[in-house]
């Protein structure tokens, strides 16, 4: 996957901002994408695509963990694009 001219682990680390679980899932998904397009190496575009997918998955998981009251507050803040004090 990573060759002398390929991407190093730093790209994943920077992209995922130190979140190990997100980094592992992003790398796994990027490898699947690279394999699907028959790329001999994981390219930065595949990492970006995979990161976008994994960010959505992580957000959905986090929102699913909210209780009903927190969900109401979240929906209000999201709809109003923030709150002012």
The answer to whether the CB of 42 falls within 8 A of the CB of 31 is yes
Q: What is the CA radius of gyration of the chain?
A: 17
Q: What is the pLDDT of residues 4-48, one digit of tens each?
A: 445 555 777 777 777 788 888 888 999 999 999 999 998 888 988
CA distance 26 to 31: 9
The answer to whether the CB of 34 falls within 8 A of the CB of 42 is yes
CA distance 45 to 36: 14
Residue 3 pLDDT greater than 70, yes or no: no
Please state whether 6 falls in left (phi above 0), alpha (psi between -120 and 50) or beta: beta
The model's pTM = 0.63
The pLDDT of residue 7 is 55
Residue that wins the pLDDT comparison between 5 and 65: 65
The structural domains of the chain, with segments of one domain joined by +, span: 9-79
């Amino acid at each position: 996957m990573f060759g002398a001219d390929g991407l190093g682990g730093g790209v994943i680390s920077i992209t995922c901002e130190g979140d190990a679980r997100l980094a592992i899932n992003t790398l796994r998904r990027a490898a699947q994408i690279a394999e699907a397009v028959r790329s001999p190496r994981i390219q930065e575009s595949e990492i970006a695509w995979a990161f976008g997918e994994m960010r959505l998955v992580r957000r959905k998981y986090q929102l699913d963990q909210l209780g009903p009251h927190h969900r109401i507050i979240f929906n209000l803040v999201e709809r109003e694009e923030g709150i002012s004090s």
